[in-house]
């Protein structure tokens, strides 16, 4: 670990820690990882498979991934890869998105427990009911759904959005009234940046929603030059304190381009591993918040997935086609 990232012991690290967790990667563990990585690479060739990984994945997953990115980048990449099989190291809605856009490919999720608290906070029946109620009041209403939703929900919506394009897409919709599901925080952030009327659902991400403004202020007091980068799934009172509100890949781009040396990365912990690997000369402070769903994907589970071809994503064709319409509209508009 670079010396400039080895600060410790201060009160400010109660909520935000400096990068690196060296204890986990012992010599024995590294030998194990290296054998598993070699076997995964062999199987990828045999199966004509690629591995797509989200920015929050474990660092050893980055070693075997063909592409690492945020939700929008992964959705696009899934449509262009030259492969029969996609192993998705991320959460269920991300693998489902890949299957929706590439039904001819086998899409595998190494662990079916890898869900998402946002995706679980809205179901298609309740959404249809709410949409119909609101349409009686706002006949021009359109429904925008965050990509962190099930295929059934996407099929009921007019358009999908991600953290990197939500405001832009809402601005481009031919309507003034938008029901935005399921993230209340992202909805509020969009509302701050548009004159349109945004009606929010009441879901949130359990990882980002627990971060408080007091935690950010405490760090700022000790590190006055730190740039605060926050994910739009955070509460509005946290976003108000940020220098930039960005998707996970947006944060990497910002840190790369910025002249600043110190960054507070207000999102799930895993992104910091990627930042450490890509920008070792800069100093990052990470929030000690883990997404338990993302961390269900392991290197060993990924190997098993390729060995056993588990677990394939299957979708009802009507649902898939409906969800594809919402996703394609997003890809065309963004
Ligand atoms: P990004 O699209 O910014 O990678 O966000 C996905 C996500 O689930 C964040 O919690
Ligand atoms: Fe879902 Fe939050 Fe985990 Fe992202 S961090 S996958 S929004 S639970």
Q: Is 77 a domain residue?
A: yes
Q: Whose CA is nearest to atom 2 of ligand 2?
A: 205
In angstroms, what is the span from residue 289 Cα to ligand 2's centroid?
11
- Domain with residue 283: its CATH number is 3.40.50.10800
Count: domains in the chain: 3
Q: Whose CA is nearest to atom 1 of ligand 2?
A: 116
For the chain, the straight-line distance linking the first and the last C-alpha, in angstroms and rounded, comes to 38
Pocket test for ligand 1, best of 52, 70, 94 (most atoms within 8 A of CB): 70
How far apart are the C-alpha atoms of 245 and 222, rounded to whole Å? 21
Domain that holds residue 253: 211-288
Q: Is 198 a domain residue?
A: yes
245 to 35, 42, 139, 242, 287: CA distances (angstroms): 39, 40, 32, 7, 15
DSSP state, residue 203: B
**C-alpha count within 13 angstroms, C-beta hemisphere, residue 64:** 32
Q: Does residue 103 sit in the same domain as residue 32?
A: yes
Q: Is 331 a domain residue?
A: no
Compute φ and ψ for 66, nearest 5 degrees.
Answer: -85, -25
- The finding on whether 248 has its CB within 6 A of some atom of ligand 1 is yes
Q: Is 241 a domain residue?
A: yes
* pLDDT value of position 10: 39
**Residue 61, both tokens:** 């997953």
Q: Does residue 129 sit in the same domain as residue 189?
A: yes
Give yes or no for a contact between 107 and 93, defined as CB atoms under 8 angstroms apart. Answer: no
Q: Does residue 192 sit in the same domain as residue 245?
A: no
Q: Does residue 185 sit in the same domain as residue 217?
A: no
* pLDDT value of position 12: 43
How far apart are the C-alpha atoms of 18 and 315, rounded to whole Å? 42
Q: Does residue 282 sit in the same domain as residue 302?
A: no
Indicate the residue among 172, 188, 204 that finishes a domain.
Answer: 204
How far apart are the C-alpha atoms of 71 and 334, rounded to whole Å? 13
Nearest CA to 78 out of 333, 308, 324, 294 is that of 324
In angstroms, what is the span from residue 117 Cα to ligand 2's centroid?
6
Q: Is 308 exposed, middle or buried (0-12, 13-18, 19+ CB in 10 A)?
A: exposed
* pLDDT value of position 15: 53
* pLDDT value of position 1: 37
Segments in the chain below pLDDT 50: 1-14, 18-23
* pLDDT value of position 69: 97
Nearest CA to 95 out of 62, 71, 68, 121 is that of 71
In angstroms, what is the span from residue 235 Cα to ligand 1's centroid?
15
């Amino acid at each position: 670990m670079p010396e400039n990232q080895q600060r410790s012991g201060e009160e400010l690290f109660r909520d935000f820690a400096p990068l690196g967790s060296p204890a986990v990667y012992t010599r024995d563990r590294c030998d194990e990882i290296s054998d598993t990585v070699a076997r995964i690479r062999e199987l990828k060739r045999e199966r004509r498979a690629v591995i797509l990984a989200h920015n929050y994945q474990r660092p050893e997953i980055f070693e075997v991934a063909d592409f690492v990115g945020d939700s929008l980048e992964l959705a696009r990449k899934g449509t262009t890869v030259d492969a029969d099989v996609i192993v998705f190291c991320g959460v269920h809605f991300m693998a489902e998105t890949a299957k929706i856009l590439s039904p001819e490919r086998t899409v595998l999720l190494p662990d079916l427990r890898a869900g998402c608290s946002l995706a679980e906070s809205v179901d298609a029946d309740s959404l249809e009911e709410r949409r119909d109620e609101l349409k009686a009041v706002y006949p021009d209403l359109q429904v925008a759904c965050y990509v962190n939703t099930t295929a059934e929900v996407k099929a009921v919506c007019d358009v999908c959005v991600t953290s990197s394009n939500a405001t832009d897409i809402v601005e481009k919709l031919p309507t003034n009234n938008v029901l935005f599901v399921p993230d209340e925080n992202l909805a509020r952030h969009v509302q701050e940046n548009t004159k349109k009327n945004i009606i929010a659902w009441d879901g949130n991400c359990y990882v980002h929603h627990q971060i408080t403004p007091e935690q950010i202020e405490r760090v700022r007091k000790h590190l006055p030059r730190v740039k605060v980068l926050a994910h739009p799934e955070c509460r509005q009172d946290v976003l108000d304190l940020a220098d930039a509100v960005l998707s996970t890949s947006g944060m990497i781009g910002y840190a790369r381009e910025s002249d600043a040396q110190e960054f507070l990365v207000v999102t799930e912990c895993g992104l910091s591993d990627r930042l450490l690997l890509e920008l070792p000369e800069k100093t990052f402070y990470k929030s000690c918040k883990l997404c338990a769903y993302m961390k269900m994907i392991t290197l060993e589970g990924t190997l098993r997935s390729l060995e056993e071809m588990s677990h394939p994503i299957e979708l009802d064709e009507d649902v898939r086609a409906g969800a594809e319409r919402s996703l394609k509209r997003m890809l065309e508009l963004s």
